[in-house]
Amino acid sequence: MNYQKTILVTGGAGFIGSHVVRLLVNKYPAYRIINLDKLTYAGNLNNLSDVEHADNYAFVKGDITDAGFITSLFEEHRFDMVVHLAAESHVDRSIANPIEFVITNVVGTCVLLNAARNIWKDDYSGKRFYHISTDEVYGTLGESGLFTETTPYDPHSPYSASKASSDHFVRAYHDTYGMPVVISNCSNNYGSFQFPEKLIPLAINNIKNMKPIPVYGKGENVRDWLWVEDHARAIDVILHNGKNGDTYNIGGFNEWKNIDLIHLLCRIMDNKLQREPGTSAKLITYVTDRPGHDMRYAIDAQKLNRELGWKPSVDFEQGLEKTVEWYLANQHWLEQVTSGAYKQYYEQQYATN
Ligand code: NAD
Ligand code: DAU
């Protein structure tokens, strides 16, 4: 079949990437979607079992930092567009091992940019390099205010510093070589297929197993939560209609203090597991704070709404309930990803508490 476009999605076996691949494969049968993923601890092909046999989908195992391999992949497929999600994505792991974040997030992004430029440089028409980034590049907010697209960068963790650096390289390729790039910076995602080292799936898993729920510091840090499928829809809209060289902030208009979110989750879990009200909340355990822990993130996503018509579609309490239902119905997935290396990570991360 002659496909209208060939799109490379990097990190498509991860949490957000798998939702993006599913959306693109199902919505655009005339596009060929190639999912490139190294399958680190965070990548899991079971996240895509429902689309793995689709005619317009193919998986390639590989590393974005391997320049020779990436060059030949671009030569073979002559991608029209790249949607770049592959990254080391967990702040706590970046504190334990910053260099891995520099290599994957900074060097890996540059390797992809370079391969795209080499293939596209004689004719950029119809081409696009879309870099998926985070609100963490903006640093932390006080009690008021929101991050806009013009908020100065002020990253504090090795993770956010590596994402900020990769954003700068993407803009540099636009400004220096005229590459058609677009960037989005999104707030915290939640939903199905999220690896249980991040707050919501970790808490669901621990509550299910009657284990302590580790809350960092006083639990007063604020995050702005977005349903992952709403993020995937935003990515689709920006991929097709975003302006070259532009940045779009994506967020849920949905701020929660960690401790309030955990209490809501405990109530939902008590209800779903038919436990006595208050049972799960007894598991809340305050533990040593994350070093350099940003206090508050909140996104102003009005530009995306005004210019491209996107807005979040899922109410947080309903989304959280659906997320809990998904994890309880997919015990096998959870058991599979929490076996082996997960146990070692968990013991090291929470050892001192
Ligand atoms: P994730 O950790 O679940 O998935 C990352 C994927 O990248 C995994 O499948 C992994 O195997 C793959 N990968 C890692 N290193 C690779 C390499 N060297 N080569 C090829 N593949 C590699 O991450 P996520 O939460 O789905 O985040 C995806 C992207 O979105 C990241 O760039 C992240 O910075 C960004 N982001 C995440 C959130 C969030 O709340 N999770 C919010 C905003 C932005
Ligand atoms: O804001 C977007 C970012 O959101 C993404 O760029 C990152 O890839 C993603 O991991 C996420 O980063 P956070 O650090 O905000 O997510 P995490 O789930 O790790 O933590 C959410 C909040 O909960 C944060 O304030 C730290 C706190 N926390 C986290 C864990 C894992 C706890 O209190 N206890 C925990 O055990």
Residue 44 Cβ < 6 Å to ligand 1: no
- Using DSSP's 3-state secondary structure scheme, residue 136 falls into helix
pLDDT of residue 344: 86
Question: Whole-angstrom Cα distance, residue 16 to residue 84?
Answer: 11
Residue position matching structure tokens 């702005």: 224
Residue numbers annotated as active site = 135-136, 159
pLDDT of residue 340: 81
Q: Which atom of ligand 2 is nearest the CA belonging to 92?
A: 19
Give the tokens for residue 2: 């002659």
Name the closest ligand to CA 206.
Answer: 2
pLDDT of residue 347: 87
Name the closest ligand to CA 64.
Answer: 1
pLDDT of residue 343: 85
pLDDT of residue 352: 65
The answer to whether 5 and 23 have CB atoms below 8 angstroms apart is no
Distance from residue 70's CA to the centre of ligand 2 (Å) = 31
Name the closest ligand to CA 231.
Answer: 1
Sheet holding 31-37, edge to edge: 57-61, 31-37, 5-10, 81-84, 128-134, 181-186, 247-250
Give the tokens for residue 262: 């955990």
At 113, the amino acid letter reads L
Distance from residue 158's CA to the centre of ligand 2 (Å) = 14
Please state, as a whole number, how many other Cβ atoms lie within 10 Å of the Cβ of residue 210.
Answer: 12
As for ligand 2, residues whose beta carbon falls within 6 Å of it are 89-91, 134-136, 187-188, 198-199, 202, 214-216, 221, 223, 258, 290, 297
Mutation to probe ligand 1, out of 8, 9, 10, 16 (largest number of atoms < 8 A from CB): 16
The answer to whether 288 and 216 have CB atoms below 8 angstroms apart is yes
What DSSP line would sit under 241-266, residue for residue? HPPTT-EEEE--S-EEEHHHHHHHHH
Distance from residue 105's CA to the centre of ligand 1 (Å) = 9
Q: Which atom of ligand 2 is nearest the CA belonging to 217?
A: 33
5-190+224-250: what CATH class?
alpha beta
pLDDT digits (tens, 9 = 90+) for 219-230: 999 999 999 999
The sign one gets for the Cα dihedral 96, 102, 103, 105 is: positive
Q: Which atom of ligand 1 is nearest the CA belonging to 16?
A: 26
Query: Strands, E, within 26-180: which ranges?
Result: 31-37, 57-61, 81-84, 128-134
Question: Whole-angstrom Cα distance, residue 82 to residue 195?
Answer: 24
Question: Whole-angstrom Cα distance, residue 183 to residue 46?
Answer: 28
Question: Whole-angstrom Cα distance, residue 346 to residue 287?
Answer: 14
Distance from residue 88's CA to the centre of ligand 1 (Å) = 6
Mean pLDDT by 10 residues, the chain (353 residues): 96 98 98 98 96 98 98 98 98 98 98 98 97 98 97 98 98 98 98 98 98 98 98 98 98 98 98 98 98 98 98 97 98 90 88 69
Give the tokens for residue 158: 């090795």
pLDDT of residue 317: 97
Residue 64 Cβ < 6 Å to ligand 1: yes
Contacting residues for 12 by C-beta, under 8 A, at least 6 apart: 18, 20, 21, 33, 35, 36, 37, 48, 59, 85
Question: Whole-angstrom Cα distance, residue 227 to residue 353?
Answer: 31
Name the closest ligand to CA 69.
Answer: 1
* Closest of 32, 36, 44 to residue 10, by C-alpha: 36
User: pTM score, two decimals?
Assistant: 0.98
Q: Which atom of ligand 1 is nearest the CA belonging to 64?
A: 19
Q: Which atom of ligand 1 is nearest the CA belonging to 104?
A: 18
**Element holding 20 (H helix, E strand):** helix 15-27
Mutation to probe ligand 1, out of 40, 169, 170, 256 (largest number of atoms < 8 A from CB): 40
Distance from residue 270's CA to the centre of ligand 1 (Å) = 31
